Homo-oligomer: A and B are copies of this chain.
């Protein structure tokens, strides 16, 4: 039972969700929203799949296609937010992060389930107009498989309790010690 009046428990609630997600398809942190600054200046957001969570380094890993808009957006502005919403616990987790990218290795490509290879494709590139959705017969290309690493700078939690909303901020610069703030 999580005590949401405890900073320690709240921090544990965040990391238990993040470390569980990569191997638990039912985790509320399995799919999380990635918000970026778009190339025309406004904000963009889409769901991504959490592939790995490293608590010691406070880093998260996701996969993407090098030709996707988010790669260009993160190259121009790596300050992004990952957002988790756990409806069962009424817990929101905002992860302000700096996102870097690297091409996947041959070993990364081999570890992918073969049915996922089509996600990293050209012919057509993402965003190309299609006559029908089934007109999409992608050609896998390992060179497009890109690993995103989000270095978490700040974790901000909001717990919507029946009695009270509880908001806390944990900052890397402060060794994620934690501070309550007004909701």
Residue numbers of A with Cβ under 8 A of B are 4-5, 31, 33, 35-38, 40-47, 77-83, 85, 87, 92, 94, 96, 119, 124-136, 138, 158, 164-168, 179-183
Query: What 20 additional pairs, Cβ within 8 angstroms, besides A40-B79, A126-B182?
Result: A35-B35, A35-B36, A36-B43, A38-B79, A41-B77, A42-B96, A43-B43, A43-B79, A43-B81, A44-B94, A46-B83, A46-B94, A124-B182, A125-B182, A129-B181, A130-B180, A133-B168, A134-B164, A135-B180, A136-B164
User: Out of B43, B81, B94, B179, which one reaches A129, CB within 8 Å?
Assistant: B179
User: Which of B33, B79, B179 is the one whose CB lies under 8 Å from A35?
Assistant: B33
Min CB–CB distance A166 → chain B (angstroms): 4
User: How far, in angstroms, from A164 to B118 measured CA to CA in the complex?
Assistant: 10
| Residue of A35, A46, A78 most packed against chain B (CB within 10 A) | A35
Chain B, residue nearest A68 (CB):
B183
* Complex: chain B residue closest to A96, CB-CB: B42
Q: A37-B37, A41-B77, A42-B77 are in contact. Are A180 and B85 (CB under 8 A)?
A: no
CA distance A36 to B43 in the complex (A): 5
Query: B43, A77: Cβ atoms under 8 Å?
Result: yes
Q: Assess the B46–A42 pair: CB atoms within 8 A.
A: no
Does the CB pair B81–A45 fall under 8 Å?
Answer: yes
Given contacts A33-B35, A133-B166, whether A81 and B42 have CB atoms under 8 Å apart is yes
Are A92 and B37 closer than 8 Å at their CB atoms?
Answer: no
Instruction: Select A31's contact among B38, B40, B45, B87, beta carbons within 8 Å.
Output: B87
Cα distance A182–B94 when bound, in Å? 30
* Contact between chains at A33 and B180 (CB < 8 Å): no
Whether B81 and A44, one on each chain, are in contact in the complex, defined by CB atoms closer than 8 angstroms, is yes
